[in-house]
Structure 1
Amino acid sequence: MYWMCESEPTILRNTKAVRIHVRGIVQGVGFRPFVYGLAKGLQLCGWVRNTSGSVEITAQGQTEDIEYFLRCLQEEAPVLARIDSLIIQPEAVRSEETAFTILPSVVQPGYRQPVPPDAAICRNCEQELFDPTNRRYLYPFLSCTNCGPRFTIINDLPCDRQHTVMAAFPFCPECQSEYDNPLDRRFHAQASACPHCGPRVLLWKKDTGIKRLSSLESILKARRILREGGILAVKGLGGFHLACDAGNAAAVAELRRRKHRPDKPFALMAADIEAVSAVCQVSRLEAELLQGYKRPVVLLDKKQPDAFFDVAPKLDQLGFMLPYTPLHHLLLNQTDAVLNQESPAPAILVMTSGNRSGEPLAAENDEALSRLLVLADAFLLHDRSISMRCDDSVVQLDRTQPTPIFLRRSRAYAPYPVRLPFAAARPLLAVGGELKNTFCLADGQQAFLSQHIGEMEDAATCAVFEQSVDHFSRLFRIQPELVAHDLHPNYFSTRYAQKLDLQKIAVQHHHAHIAACMADNGLTERNLIGLAFDGTGYGTDGKIWGGEVLLVSYAGFERLAHLEYLPLPGGDAAIRHPWRIALGYAYTLDLDLDGLPFLLNIDKQAASVIKHQVDKQLNAPLTSSIGRLFDAVASLIGIRNHVCYEAQAAMELEVLSKPFIDSAAAYPYTIDDIIQVKELFKAIIRDLRANEPVGLIGARFHQAIAWLAIDLCQQARDVTGLNEVALSGGVWQNQTLLQLVRQGLTEAGFTVYVHQQVPANDGGLALGQAVVALAMTER
């Protein structure tokens, strides 16, 4: 089957013919109909077709029209398209060419196409959603080639409807006609549907079960449940959210109680940008992130410290996103007369991941009804399956450069590949770490990073990890010959790698962090200085690293300096109870803590046990972690003795420090082969005894770590002659510290690299494992 544009250009002396290969995200995004319409408008002849590795075009016409056509291919491509390369070759002019056609797809062994990520509803579909004259009026699953689900509905490639979950919904005649028309916005839109032939929404309540209602009636009742303070489980693109009215303190508190999440911030979804701007400072670039087709959760500064305090206790930022599916718009819409009159909805909802603590995101109806029944009062379900669960992405704007920084790379970004700085000679799987897990499949010059998997401490999450690896391997036709994993022997990902019948390569945690930053910035093989600051990473000496100055190449590393080893009494328990870290450090450094306020809430017998553990080296592993140093200081100065989520104490310390940061002088420290912090702690204790503000103490500590980082790089430069620095590890998510260090290093003449495409935390670890393993095998 093919489509023809009837045009008969005269073959003149200035006629030109070209063959074009376009690679990138150019399939499933309306690229062929875009090319077809453009060629028709210019009266070109030739053809366009999908192949396994690219979109291929031949075009013939007058020279100036061909040149305009080539410019438009790059400058006016569909919004979801992403062109990685465009190869143009001259062709012989053929007088028999009289039309422009869309040819059938061609399968090419050994080639692959990136799978488009899911995309937020486009403006055209949003207009149709609220247009009473449109046949898709108020239909919660409308989409087109410019928007809607992609990654989460694809079972296999090529991305044809029969290979997606939409195969369960045969087209009605009208939808089929649109799908077959190359000039229609829904030409080959695999997720396209309408109320007559597509998925529908179902409402399930504890007292009644499934309600036999229309999709709209189900949504209206769901809005009423939210308005009345209920908790609603909502099935979305890649899984379930748990939603409640963000302005209802009792509803938020009840959600926290049910989810066993006393303090960790919730994500919010607002009806529109005006609702967000009423609560937070929103810059032009942040507004573009919020309103673009990716719609991640964006961390924004509050206008008032107490705004939605229950949503993000003791923090000065809120994580907002805007509706990205028609269903979300229908839940939150504030302007449509029908919805307003029937059931007004809150303008801002909590929209947190639909799971119990430690479990993976719930994806299918039966799974959600089983696992989330104790959390939700009602369930807004739908009958479209989810092929691959995918949580929301989380970003914040870099304060020193107008670019987003990833805290979590998932929906709307995964699984788009990162281009490797060198070609992989053998296909490889990198399995990532234990926390914030992602994995990576690499082949050629493409590294396909998975969506956020989560914390690998729950059996169900581990099962999702294994299913996802299998899915990616099938989807991208990559059968790995190598597997890269962390050095830590007890990580699930390490044990999984050990079971595989593949060549295994262990990669040190912080080497992987710095290598990930290098690959993230497209750097070729070289040596540079790496500052790997994070919470936990297994070192080559069996100790817990995390405050490392490294001389790094892809193929190897040398440890130039590190924070002195200090004990973690109780091991992992110390991370949840940072008072243990503070006491362990104090006993080791022989610090006088008598009378300090933070001791008032610590049982004397428990403190004695900590001293015994440190003295006898019983369950008190040694660490050089900067992350744990932040925890110890936060506890010592009275911010928090117990944490409910990762980095909570450090985040609250940063919030209190910000007002003082510009005027604070750095605390002292000592660099003598290792970084010594006894003088730093003694200075903090002096300030505590002098009743200095906690925020000022925190600011002086931030300045100390910043100047320490700059001094370490200068010393490393003196030894190595290197002038490039890569920053990686979870500590660099601290924007206050990142700003201070980047500015100081730049002023000192360094070139500084930070993460661009993947998180600095362990969510980017798999990329680093992949490039290190590939470089090691090449060597």
Structure 2
Amino acid sequence: MKRCRIEIEGIVQGVGFRPFVYQLARRHHLAGWVLNDSRGVTIEAQGDTAAMEDFLHALRAQAPPLAVITRFKTRPCPLATEDSFVIHASNETAERRIQIAPDTYVCGDCLAELFDPADRRYRYPFINCTNCGPRYTIVTGVPYDRPLTTMADFPLCADCRREYENPASRRFHAQPNACPACGPRLSLHDGAGRRLEVPDALGQAIALLRQGRILAVKGLGGYHLVVDAANDQAVAELRRRKTRDEKPFALMSRDLEAVRRYAWVNEAEEQLLLGVERPIVLLPRRADHGLSPRVAPSNGFFGVMLPYTPLHHLLLEDQFTALVMTSANLSDEPILFEDGEALTRLSDIADAYLSHNRRIHTRTDDSIARILAGRAVLMRRSRGYVPRGILLPQAQPTVLALGAELKNTICFTQENRAFLSQHIGDLKNLEVLRGLEHSVDHLGRILGLRPRIVAHDLHPDYLSTRFAEELPEVRRIGVQHHHAHLVSCLADNGRDEPAIGVIFDGLGFGADGHIWGGEFLLGDADGFERAAHLAYLPMPGGDAATREPWRMALSALAHAFGESLPEPAFFPTHAPGDLRLVRQMIARGINCPLTSSCGRLFDAVAALIGVRQRISYEGQAALELEQIAAEGEQGRYAYELYDRQGPFVVDPAPLIRSLVEDLGQGVAPGVLSARFHNTLAAMIQEVCGRLREGSGLNLVALSGGVFQNRYLTEKTLPLLERDGFTVLTHSLVPPNDGGLALGQAVIAGRLAARQQQS
């Protein structure tokens, strides 16, 4: 006989792990017990030695589908007198290492019950089990038990209680378990927020959508604004009311067959759509898509997701090819998730509200992903992925990292794990800052962490930096923006050694006080050297230049042509006085901060060739420039690479002059775009080759928002690999600023560890 104590950490609560252990132990005729605690799951089991060995193997090999084991420790212990195996109540311990599961799409078993007229949960919009349903958005504390979730508001009926207490049921200790007799219920409200007494709230909501009305629908992590995507008038009205001129709307369709009516889906994209995380996936749209052209104007892609809640399945059942399913928020504010606030603040947008009485504790947007170079890459890491941990190359002190201003996320580290928060938003107002504060408090509480080391961006005016400055009794560590990008990419790939970091993005506060964004770094978590960068260009008007790409176009022309600046025939719709004023600002250096940003170079080229003079959302000019690039075009432009007793400088002046010459000869915009992208890829290849000669480094990390660009990424990778480089790209965390907090946390942790050792 043998008895073992087994301590398991990871995502092992709320995923059916205890009933799995119980049934496995009974199958192997073992005695003992299993319980949840603040670290994960603890087991004591005893029985025949051979049976125990089989049991230990099966614990790992046959774990429930949503379980993720990150630590598995066994040790022998004295035999006991039990003759059965039982499940004990949860036990709170001082040390907290619990990992809560992400919110998960409705499983096949629950879907079968949902549409089975003989089942007691037939068409119940909140059906779930231990293999699916809400998790992170309803958790209020740990251990993960019903009293510490928002389901505490719903006492179980006798039937649900029997399932909840039966280890043989797949609803054993499924904390969101409920049914029509005891669980959450739908309600329909009019545009003024008054509850409508209708016999079928869902049916009435579907009827309103078919009439072209705008609905606010409460989901897992907040409200969505919903209209029929094929109804052009409804989509246009949603844009008008939401004052969202051109930014694409997300779509939801009931299945892959419906998606294929309006978008092209390859095998990798299909797997991403069908994954348990159910992200929004960027798909090339069909020319004959049949949806409103206002869903994604001037865009060759649709952002598409499949239903992930039973309510979504019921909304889409035999009804619509696709529904617009966009986050319900006001401009630059986070998604609305509290009922009272939604009913008030959406009153000028929504015609009606389809709501329910299950509270959302933590707002969570939908995740966004695309396939780049055959690999799934997250553009926004949120629902379905958070708070799943990321394995770090090595253990480090506990750190809280606060991210940057745009696409803000935060990150906690615990030993060799990093925990990124859900997407919080752009830190431009008080509402988003409150979202950051809630995330710091909530994620820290469920992880049991109160770090004394806080990492933040070097920019002194970011709200995240100011938040760090107000935290009491902590050590603050400022981290350079692009260094954090480099280390984020290394950590995303489980790498720790020095690399050449090609970091191309929009804006980041540089170590020299200028605005960086077209950087070649040499380094790792221990430090970095700026080895090369794009030449500085003035940003006339500062932030105004990010909203009006024509300003960067004038700046690029002035840089390329100097005194012989050509007449601005590129801007026929601009008042001559405005052009003259901006040219004077550039010439005199008035309100023209210098930037090496590759993102601003994209803006300049997009404006020069007539793609976009002004933008209505961040990154729009670069996105549209990418999408018109002519496939198969091999031409490229010249650039100058020189060394001025410091970092190499890549000067785009020859590129701009050649582009202007092509424009004068009537070359098509798609060809111009392709040649520009090809030039950047060749430039990256050459600069990395030069840097390898001096440093001996053969590892390249590509990071920053520019590497969300499919054309550029897929042109650059083969060029570098052909030269023998090992190339790292992002996957688990976004290449944009949404992944920045991971790099900040690792850098700060490494610095603290070194200082502790010295």
TM-score range, shorter chain: over 0.9
Which among 716, 740, 745 is matched to residue 765 of structure 1?
Answer: 740
**Residue 594 of structure 1, CA deviation:** 4.2
The aligned residue for residue 315 of structure 1 is 299
The aligned residue for residue 547 of structure 1 is 518
The aligned residue for residue 393 of structure 2 is 421
Which among 136, 149, 152 is matched to residue 164 of structure 1?
Answer: 149
Deviations along 1:408-459, one digit per CA (max 9) or x if unpaired, are 000011111222223223x321111110000112232222211000011121
Confirm whether residue 29 of structure 1 aligns to residue 18 of structure 2. no
The aligned residue for residue 608 of structure 2 is 636
CA contact (8 A) 2:164 2:172 kept: yes
Which among 562, 567, 573 is matched to residue 533 of structure 2?
Answer: 562
The aligned residue for residue 444 of structure 1 is 415
- Partners of 1:265 and 1:725 lie apart in 2 by 32
Identity percentage of aligned residues: 48
Which among 694, 700, 704 is matched to residue 719 of structure 1?
Answer: 694
- Partners of 1:44 and 1:367 lie apart in 2 by 53
The aligned residue for residue 363 of structure 1 is 337
Q: TM-score, normalised by structure 2?
A: 0.96
The aligned residue for residue 176 of structure 1 is 161
- The AA in structure 2 aligned to 1:379 is Y
The aligned residue for residue 302 of structure 1 is 285
Where 1:611 maps in the other structure, the secondary structure is helix
Change (3 A) 1:429 1:607: same
- Partners of 1:325 and 1:306 lie apart in 2 by 25
- The AA in structure 1 aligned to 2:279 is P
CA contact (8 A) 1:226 1:346 kept: no
Where 2:618 maps in the other structure, the secondary structure is coil
Deviations along 1:526-568, one digit per CA (max 9) or x if unpaired, are 3211111000000011110000011112121111011000011
Which among 316, 320, 334 is matched to residue 346 of structure 1?
Answer: 320
**Residue 17 of structure 1, CA deviation:** 4.9
Change (3 A) 1:130 1:521: same
Farther off after superposition, 544-553 or 107-116:
107-116
**Residue 39 of structure 1, CA deviation:** 2.2
The aligned residue for residue 111 of structure 1 is 96
The aligned residue for residue 194 of structure 1 is 179
The aligned residue for residue 250 of structure 2 is 267
Confirm whether residue 692 of structure 1 aligns to residue 667 of structure 2. yes
Change (3 A) 1:27 1:356: same
Deviations along 1:159-196, one digit per CA (max 9) or x if unpaired, are 11111111111111111111111111111111011111
**Residue 97 of structure 1, CA deviation:** 4.7
Deviations along 1:185-217, one digit per CA (max 9) or x if unpaired, are 111111011111111111001378211235xx0
Deviations along 1:353-399, one digit per CA (max 9) or x if unpaired, are 01011111110111001111111110111111111000000011233
Deviations along 1:217-240, one digit per CA (max 9) or x if unpaired, are 001010011111010000111100
Change (3 A) 1:208 1:299: closer
- Partners of 2:182 and 2:120 lie apart in 1 by 12
* Structure 1 residues 3-152: aligned runs within 5 Å: 17-62=3-48, 65-89=51-75, 94=79, 96-152=81-137
Farther off after superposition, 374-383 or 583-592:
583-592
Which among 448, 459, 476 is matched to residue 477 of structure 1?
Answer: 448
Q: TM-score, normalised by structure 1?
A: 0.93
Equivalent pairs, count: 746
- Partners of 2:288 and 2:246 lie apart in 1 by 16
Confirm whether residue 495 of structure 1 aligns to residue 495 of structure 2. no
Where 2:14 maps in the other structure, the secondary structure is coil
Where 2:572 maps in the other structure, the secondary structure is helix
Change (3 A) 1:207 1:24: closer
Where 1:43 maps in the other structure, the secondary structure is coil
Where 2:137 maps in the other structure, the secondary structure is helix
CA contact (8 A) 1:484 1:506 kept: yes
- Partners of 2:712 and 2:240 lie apart in 1 by 33
- Partners of 2:511 and 2:230 lie apart in 1 by 49
- Partners of 1:307 and 1:688 lie apart in 2 by 35
Where 2:38 maps in the other structure, the secondary structure is coil
Structure 2 gaps, min length 5: 644-648
- The AA in structure 2 aligned to 1:602 is H
**Residue 57 of structure 1, CA deviation:** 2.6
Which among 322, 342, 363 is matched to residue 389 of structure 1?
Answer: 363
The aligned residue for residue 706 of structure 1 is 681
Change (3 A) 1:305 1:135: closer
- Partners of 1:688 and 1:303 lie apart in 2 by 30
- Partners of 1:734 and 1:692 lie apart in 2 by 23
The aligned residue for residue 382 of structure 2 is 410
- Partners of 1:71 and 1:285 lie apart in 2 by 32
- Partners of 2:567 and 2:517 lie apart in 1 by 31
Which among 553, 566, 590 is matched to residue 561 of structure 2?
Answer: 590
- The AA in structure 1 aligned to 2:89 is P
- Partners of 1:111 and 1:264 lie apart in 2 by 42
- The AA in structure 2 aligned to 1:168 is D
**Residue 715 of structure 1, CA deviation:** 0.7
* Structure 1 residues 577-616: aligned runs within 5 Å: 577-590=548-561, 594=566, 598-616=570-588
The aligned residue for residue 665 of structure 1 is 635
The aligned residue for residue 246 of structure 1 is 229
Q: CA RMSD in A?
A: 1.7
The aligned residue for residue 646 of structure 2 is none
Change (3 A) 1:39 1:455: same
CA contact (8 A) 1:580 1:610 kept: yes
CA contact (8 A) 1:544 1:624 kept: yes
Deviations along 1:265-288, one digit per CA (max 9) or x if unpaired, are 110000111101222222233222
- Partners of 2:75 and 2:449 lie apart in 1 by 30
Where 2:113 maps in the other structure, the secondary structure is helix
Deviations along 1:136-175, one digit per CA (max 9) or x if unpaired, are 1111111111111111001111111111111111111111
